[in-house]
Amino acid sequence: MRIISGRLKGRQLVGFKAGHIRPTTDRVKETLFNILMGDVPGARVLDLFAGTGNLGIEALSRGASYVECVEVNKSSLRIIADNLKSLGIQKEIKVTASDVFKYLKSYKAEPFDIIFIDPPFTEAIAHKCMEAASTTQAAKIGTIFVIESSRHERIDDAYGPLRLLDRRAFGDKSASFFQKGEG
């Protein structure tokens, strides 16, 4: 697992194999960021179910102005801390230890431009995540959501004001891109 582009390009990330972590592969990550290409520089980015911090760190490397990683698992939080320390970016990414659903429900600060959602496949909660995302104040009109899920898991084409922009398949997983509209 490595940083693909930007100021941290080529740097390796710490990772480990565990049931609760299924890091986004370099191939999938490259495709996601190619689709988002012009949206990342200067963006406020939220990485939910952050795991290793892989997506948030890639966004920072590509010029995001603010990145926050939300994760509840203690082992994952240690990995994120190790990755930030090894890259020397501990002060550049905010890490929040929280349940994602509680975080989305209680969020009241400045909204994000891009929100990555990569829930554990073992729980089949992608649909539930999108329902929660559709009402959060962490998003504004124009916010782009990228959710990774099992190809067999239910993901609708719309969730309230969130409309499907694109969907890509990668083996057993898919990535769906949504944008928040007027309502």
pLDDT in tens, 25-66: 788 889 999 999 889 999 999 999 999 999 999 999 999 999
- Please report, as a single letter, which amino acid is at residue 53: G
pTM: 0.94
CATH topology of domain 26-180: Rossmann fold (3.40.50)
User: So where are the chain's domains?
Assistant: 26-180
pLDDT in tens, 116-136: 999 987 677 999 999 999 999
Buried b (16+ CB within 10 A) or exposed e, 22-47: bbbeeebbeebbeebeebbeebbbbb
φ/ψ (deg, to 5) at 12? -85, 150
> Collapsing DSSP states into helix, strand and coil, what is residue 105?
helix
